[in-house]
Structure 1
């Protein structure tokens, strides 16, 4: 069966259904899962038989910077969504920055959708943004279909997306009350005690000391108070430090509707291993030490961290300043959209995580964050037939030639990982198989005002 074909049924000896892995046939009708049958109950007909490859809900990556329009030399919908498909990701949610214009007004949102049309190989939803003074745009953006909103409590790295003050947040959260929408926070603030970057700029430790844990701690103190006050759903993106976990736990116990994610790089990489001048490892908040990393894994296992995402944030190679290896000047962001599933599984499988944990942390919870969980992130009748077919035992090496992101620079180059994606199915259509893509993009735009009849502009 060639990419681009419609799939009527998928058979495997290893289908993940709830917490169990068992033989089954998934019958697909009109792009949705019609029935899940045992082999003996399947009446026959054309079926994609994948042997003993694992069939799971497609990955939902709810933290992706696509950068189109405006910074297409960094990434774009065509390249980002092909990389997603190659990685078993069937839905992405695009961040409101680093595109120009950012998704901070209804007009800008329409411009973004126009740019994305006809370029998406997987389904795509969109976050809006909260910046100073745009609070009256928020409800109209909800009406227009954004999945929720993102804001920064510290400089975002780009001028078009200024960070908010506490005053701005009161204005925004008053608008979001009662809407059911969600506000995502880049949780770092400038603190007086911040160490100045006065060491050797080629040493990773110099950069790490300039973004201490207290920056996340103090930001999360502000967020939890606001979340409790307004009872608006709040979400902390890319938690890198384990120190604020206690604050988060206390706020949730007190009734804060608060969720938190971490990323593949905080779980896979640690500060001690970053060589001098290797600016492809720079991101904000920073990759911290190995003791902190194990605490993040423990929190994930204990359910204190709700989900794991890529925070795919690419740029052109020159912005990484590899020629001088200056961590203080380099753009902060890591490319990993294509490799989230094997990155996670390579580390998680060694720590006793099961396939059901992978589906929960990379598909189900991520879909729920953007209110997509009525169609995405689960294998059940009535859900979109979004499937990843993969081999959890097989190993592969990340080579530049196989990377589908626009810019190939990534800290994972040369790494050997467990878990090979064999095929990706989006709403019953085979979009990727064994290195080949469907001839044209078949992804749709997921608009929040009507996720049941998903519109494609």
Structure 2
């Protein structure tokens, strides 16, 4: 007798897609059996031709609570995540107040999140000038690694570090370092303008290229792992490939907006498209897709970074003044699936990019896969149904998204967290901590 069995003719397993039944007991997957295997279960769910995926793992989410909870909070962000098939998120150390740069700040953030999480939540720590002595304590307290900016973060309480300060941090603690890679010396002042082309020109590919080179050089010198966040500039891909071939432990991610949106189609004044680094053209996106297919880019994550509508300056359409961030944690799966299938990719590819590899990045070996011993985090996903994005119907706090009005393919029907259906009313998520593997 097991608690639950979920059957589907399209289960995405580590070895590929096939019909199967998934047996679940005490929140864990205990067996993967034939689709029609007789099972004594407290509940037996037959999805038929609806696909069954592992819960997605999003390692790049800005929740902002406490301090800027009006931008986003744990309840709204994790409810949106679950609605989008995401069952694990790792929260970035900014833009909350205080930022997660000390153990006291981590405790404040966890207290704010307690009882509000609809999915499992882990935390990144932050590297800023002067907090090197705090990193070991944060690591011991369970953070999954440390985020650093090489350019202005956009908030004064999280200043950037230079190469020497990043090297000092990497030497101080053995952990994964994740880097916002834009070089301030290559950025140009964005003048007040409603033209997207003016904003794009202020953050050229050279800025990413130079910062990626810096991050790689520091990682090579320290022998630490470094992960390039939200890579937008395809010009940096050869640097990453060369470094990996030389034994540097460097990986990179990208985001749905860099893979699916086109700078040439962004209307003037449409500040909901502003993010840093910026959305570039389709030729650049094609190269990112190639790197994703080749495994040079390892995963796709949201970089969910919302704010209140007034901070997007939609009244003036001024890209220079608007907050830079894309709200998309609920939409990443259908956005990527819509584009991926058009390029000949499969659901198994999407699961690899958005579930297994992000889980592996942070050492969560029991997440992001359907296999015996893993957490029973599952998603019933209809890959063929289409819908039009209604920003007002999304669960994140503020209804601003560049995907509004876009027709997407793929609908999440049900999300299970450790074998329990996530309804949005019962906050059953847990806090996660790093493992020795990370």
Place the TM-score, normalised by the shorter chain, in its bin. over 0.9
Question: Which SS does the other structure have where 1:325 is aligned?
Answer: coil
Q: Structure 1: how far apart are the matches of 2:239 and 2:313?
A: 36
Question: Which SS does the other structure have where 2:166 is aligned?
Answer: helix
**Structure 2-normalised TM-score?**
0.97
Aligned to 1:33: 29
Instruction: Please tell me whether the aligned partners of residues 59 and 88 of structure 1 are also in contact (alpha carbons under 8 angstroms).
Output: yes
Q: Structure 1: how far apart are the matches of 2:71 and 2:190?
A: 27
More displaced stretch, 38-47 vs 410-419? 38-47
Q: Per-residue deviation at 1:369?
A: 1.5
Deviation string 1:332-355 (CA, Å, 9 cap, x unpaired) is: 000000000000000011111111
Instruction: Please tell me whether the aligned partners of residues 7 and 429 of structure 1 are also in contact (alpha carbons under 8 angstroms).
Output: no
Q: Per-residue deviation at 1:41?
A: 3.4
Question: Which SS does the other structure have where 2:87 is aligned?
Answer: strand
Write the mapping of 1:15-414 to structure 2, written as runs, cut at 5 A: 15-45=11-41, 46-176=43-173, 179=174, 181-191=175-185, 194-198=187-191, 201-372=193-364, 374-414=365-405
Taking structure 1 as reference, are residues 63 and 207 closer, same or farther at Cα in structure 2, changes over 3 Å only? same
Q: Structure 2: how far apart are the matches of 1:316 and 1:255?
A: 43
Q: Structure 2: how far apart are the matches of 1:32 and 1:57?
A: 12
Q: Structure 2: how far apart are the matches of 1:149 and 1:440?
A: 31
Deviation string 1:187-243 (CA, Å, 9 cap, x unpaired) is: 001125x44435x60100000000001100110111111111111110000000100
Instruction: Please tell me whether the aligned partners of residues 363 and 435 of structure 2 are also in contact (alpha carbons under 8 angstroms).
Output: no
Q: Per-residue deviation at 1:56?
A: 1.0
RMSD: 1.4
Q: Which runs of 5+ in 2 are unaligned?
A: none
Taking structure 1 as reference, are residues 269 and 358 closer, same or farther at Cα in structure 2, changes over 3 Å only? same
Q: Structure 1: how far apart are the matches of 2:32 and 2:163?
A: 49
Instruction: Please tell me whether the aligned partners of residues 291 and 297 of structure 2 are also in contact (alpha carbons under 8 angstroms).
Output: yes
Q: Structure 2: how far apart are the matches of 1:450 and 1:251?
A: 25
Q: Which runs of 5+ in 1 are unaligned?
A: 1-5, 432-436, 452-457
Q: Structure 1: how far apart are the matches of 2:94 and 2:224?
A: 22
Write the mapping of 1:423-434 to structure 2, written as runs, cut at 5 A: 423-431=414-422
Instruction: Please tell me whether the aligned partners of residues 270 and 317 of structure 2 are also in contact (alpha carbons under 8 angstroms).
Output: yes
Taking structure 1 as reference, are residues 145 and 270 closer, same or farther at Cα in structure 2, changes over 3 Å only? same
Q: Structure 2: how far apart are the matches of 1:196 and 1:99?
A: 26
Aligned to 1:441: 427
Question: Which SS does the other structure have where 2:325 is aligned?
Answer: coil
Instruction: Please tell me whether the aligned partners of residues 9 and 35 of structure 2 are also in contact (alpha carbons under 8 angstroms).
Output: no
Deviation string 1:67-89 (CA, Å, 9 cap, x unpaired) is: 00100000000000000000000
More displaced stretch, 273-282 vs 12-21? 12-21
Question: Which SS does the other structure have where 1:22 is aligned?
Answer: strand
Taking structure 1 as reference, are residues 195 and 175 closer, same or farther at Cα in structure 2, changes over 3 Å only? closer
Query: Aligned pairs, how many?
Result: 435
Aligned to 1:8: 4
Question: Which SS does the other structure have where 2:178 is aligned?
Answer: strand
Instruction: Please tell me whether the aligned partners of residues 124 and 143 of structure 2 are also in contact (alpha carbons under 8 angstroms).
Output: yes
Instruction: Please tell me whether the aligned partners of residues 391 and 401 of structure 2 are also in contact (alpha carbons under 8 angstroms).
Output: no
More displaced stretch, 13-22 vs 354-363? 13-22
Taking structure 1 as reference, are residues 16 and 418 closer, same or farther at Cα in structure 2, changes over 3 Å only? same
